[in-house]
Each structure stands twice: as C-alpha cells, then as structure tokens.
Chain A
Amino acid sequence: MTEYMRRDRRWHPPGYAPGYKSTILRSPRRALLSLEQSVGETSGPVFGHSTITDSDRDLIANYSTGGEAIGERIIVHGQVLDENARPVPNALLEIWQANAGGRYRHVKDGYVAALDPNFGGCGRCMTDENGYYSFRTIKPGPYPWRNDGSDWRPAHIHLSIFGAAFTQRLITQFYFEGDPLIPLCPIVNTIADPAAIDMLVARLDMGNTVPFDCLTWRWDIVLRGRRSTFFENRPEGN
C-alpha cells in the first residue's frame, strides 16, 4: 500500500480564522482526530481523459454560444507535483471563476456587474504524463463581498484537484502576481505563513505568451507526497 506524508496543518489555513467571518460558526471546535491511512484513504477515483474534451479547458469559448468571452485573454499553465517533486499524471483539475467584471454565473450571485452572455466560468482539464496542465480563459475581475462591510476579493481562479489518492484531495484558489488586493484579502490572510500564500500566486510567463492573442500565467501545484514504507508490515505484499 502506498501511503502519503502527513498534512502540515500549520501550513494550511486553520478552520477557525475569525478575520474571515464565515469560519466562526463553520469550524469544528474539537481537534481533528489524526489517524494512519488505510485503503480508503490511499485510493481515489480514477477519471479518464476520454471524459474531458478540448473545449472543457477553453473557458473563452466553451459556453456554447458561438461567441467568445469578453476580457483579458490569458492562458494558465503549470505542473502538478507531489512533495517529493514527482510529477502527478492524470490529475483532474476543475476550474471555476468570475467573469471579467467580477460576476459569477451562479443563481445566487447578485453582484451588480453584468453577466457576459458568452462566459460560463466553468472548465476542467487533466494533467499529462509529466504532470502538466493548461487552460485558456479570461482574467477574472475583483469583486466586493460582505465580510467587514465591503471587502474586495483579489482576482482569483478556483481549482479543485484530484490526485491519485483521496488524501491528496485539494480545493484552493490562485491569485495573480502584483494584485494590490492580495495582502488586503481576509480569505488570503487565513493563511499564516507568507511563503504559503506565495504558493497561491501565479507568475506572469512572458516567454510563453501567445503573440497578439493571450498573456500567459504560470502556476504550479503541489499535492501530498508518497511516503516510503520501510520495514513495515504489508499484509497485502509489496
């Protein structure tokens, strides 16, 4: 059985982070119960490349309207690695974001900014054999939210990631380098360590910019690493 390294809970944001008010009533008060992994934790669902089409990773055009989304055209790419710096192939990435004006296409988003008829804000892609992924979209806009009255989210894209095991499951958000709203954001600031926040900041990648078409941003992702199992009882054999 492959096992995974412990999750560093001091690196992740804590459940209770009162600067982000919604955490106050939605965080457990008791300590998490830390236990060793068995097959239910070290296995995970397998998603096939066949279920993902090229259109899934093109958020500029995939809302099936025939038109293209309005906004700053960007490509986002990077590599999914584990903590041992090994590429994670066949990882499923699910993507969602606001449009260029900061409005989500969601029945519960009532922000005054206009919807873009050609933008759904939903995509997905898989990593290749070397762990690389890419998708095309428009840069999302910042938007206000009611936390301390009118906080503003920095421009961000949400990602849900499935590695090989359910213990590697991760949902997070990434930001764009240089955005002055990043250090002001209560959700960003649920993370204590500046080095951890820095892992959520995509870098402008001029070398891979598509001439006269798209700016490119690079954002690498790290999932939990496999742990070597020395001298340990392996009832199922090696």
Chain B
Amino acid sequence: MPVKYLKETPSQTAGPYVHIGTCPSAAGLNVRTQEKPNVLAAAGTAERIRIEGVVLDGSGTPVHDGMLEIWQADTKGKYNAKGFTGWGRAVADFKTGEWAFETVKPGATPYRDGRQQAPHVTLLVFARGINIHLHTRMYFPEDEAAHATDPVLAAVPPDQRHTLIARREKRGGETVYRLDIHLQGDKETVFFDF
C-alpha cells in the first residue's frame, strides 16, 4: 500500500450569494460598509493602475454574480511586502458583470529555478456554476521582451498566450489594463492547475 495522506476537503461552488460572506455590503448587508477589498492601492498612490474586465460564459454572456480575487507582488516583485498586502477581491457588477481592481503594477518575480517571470498578477474566479475556482494570470502588454522568456508563458501554447495579456489604455490620468476572461469557447482563457 502506498503511504496514506489525508484527502483535501472537496470544493463546492461559491454559489450566487458568495457576496454575503466575502463582500457583505455588496449583498446589501449593513456591515463592514467601509471595506473596499478591490482597492489595493489608495487614490493618490504613485503609479496606481486599474485592472478591469468582465468574465464571460460559453454563450458570451457576462457573469454578473461572480467574485474575483487578486494576488500579486509589490512594485519591486516582493510578495507580502510591508505596507502592501497584494491581495484583494472584486465583485462583478450585478448588471454588467464588470469588475475592477485599483492597484500597482508588480515587479518581476522569480520562477522556482531562479529565472525571472514577467510581471503578472494571479486571478481566481469564483461563481455559481464554477465547482472549483479557476486560476489564471494577467500579464502586461508592454513587457513583450520579458514575455518571451517567461517560463509559465513558455508552457502555454503560442496561440493561447494572448488570453493572458491585457490591453492597455490611458483613461483620465490613469493607466487601465483590461482583461476579459472567457470561461469557454474560441477565446477560452488559459486556466492553470498549480
């Protein structure tokens, strides 16, 4: 008999009411109303950026009951840096499905073997109809040279890499990165199993 381990507790969908436990004021509860979990960097922070998008199902319909989490390094490429939690969550708008984070662009981080990974953020998607959260990444379009040597992008089939790379635009004074996440279909986003 092989060595035995405990089995992981199985996942179940976060369901349509995920907001009650994770972003209660979005559900309409009059509690923790001051919390803004999608703001990792306060207004006025130098180099603040916006990351936004919509999650689309296999019919192209926006997922308007989902919740996303972000996990990222600070501008120097450090996780759990002092003064920057690097974690946040955003609620998809109940009508449009639009979600957004206000944050800073992370620096490059090391791959397991010490090579550099291009700057990126981790995104998790939770929603009704998603039995176990989906794990993806967003990369920044201006880092083309770093993408060419990124060990994770190298493992992604070339014709699918674009699903992980945001579009960039200036809006007001702010740099906005947009990444639509396609759960299914021709434009299906690459999802990871780390």
Contact = CB atoms under 8 A, between A and B. Distances in A.
Interface of A: 1, 5, 7-9, 11-15, 17, 20-30, 32-41, 43-46, 62-64, 81-85, 94-97, 104-109, 120-124, 158-160, 166-167, 169-173, 187-188, 190-191, 195-197, 199-200, 221-225, 233, 235-236
A117 to B, nearest CB: 12
Contact of B192 (A8, A35, A195, A233): A35
A36 B27 contact: no
B12 A172 contact: yes
B149 interface: no
Given A26-B57, A28-B183, A160-B22, A222 B188 contact: no
Given A8-B8, A28-B184, A28-B191, A43 B79 contact: yes
A7 B122 contact: no
A108 B94 contact: yes
A158 B9 CA distance: 13
Q: Which 10 A-B pairs have the closest CB atoms?
A: A96-B21, A22-B129, A45-B87, A235-B114, A26-B129, A32-B193, A13-B131, A96-B20, A25-B58, A107-B28
Nearest to A81: B6
Contact of B127 (A26, A46, A97, A108): A26
Given A81-B6, A166-B71, A172-B9, 16 more contacts: A7-B8, A14-B131, A25-B58, A27-B130, A28-B191, A30-B190, A34-B193, A36-B194, A107-B28, A108-B16, A108-B65, A122-B31, A167-B194, A173-B13, A222-B9, A236-B114
A53 to B, nearest CB: 11
A94 B22 contact: yes
Contacts of B79: 39-40, 43
Contacts of A29: 58, 184-185, 188
A176 B21 CA distance: 20
Given A13-B10, A222-B9, A171 B18 contact: yes
Interface stretch (B41-49, B105-113, B166-174): B105-113
A136 to B, nearest CB: 16
Contact of B19 (A81, A106, A190, A223): A106
A40 B124 CA distance: 13
Contact of A85 (B6, B10, B28): B6
Contacts of B15: 158, 173
Interface in B141-181: 152, 155-156
A38 B109 contact: yes
A223 B117 CA distance: 27
Interface residues of B, number: 72
Nearest to B73: A40
A23 B17 contact: no
Nearest to A191: B10
Interface centre among B65, B124, B184, B190 (most CB of A within 10 A): B184
Interface centre among B14, B15, B63, B131 (most CB of A within 10 A): B131
8 contacts: A13-B11, A28-B134, A38-B112, A106-B17, A106-B20, A158-B15, A171-B126, A223-B8
Contact of B183 (A1, A26, A124, A171): A26
Interface centre among A82, A160, A171 (most CB of B within 10 A): A171
A107 B31 CA distance: 14
A33 B124 contact: no
A120 B6 contact: no
Nearest to B66: A26
A84 B5 contact: yes
Contacts of B131: 12-15, 17, 20, 23, 27, 190
A67 B57 CA distance: 42
Contacts of B50: none
A39 B110 contact: yes
Contacts of B134: 15, 28
A158 B85 contact: no
Contacts of B21: 94-96, 122-124, 158-160
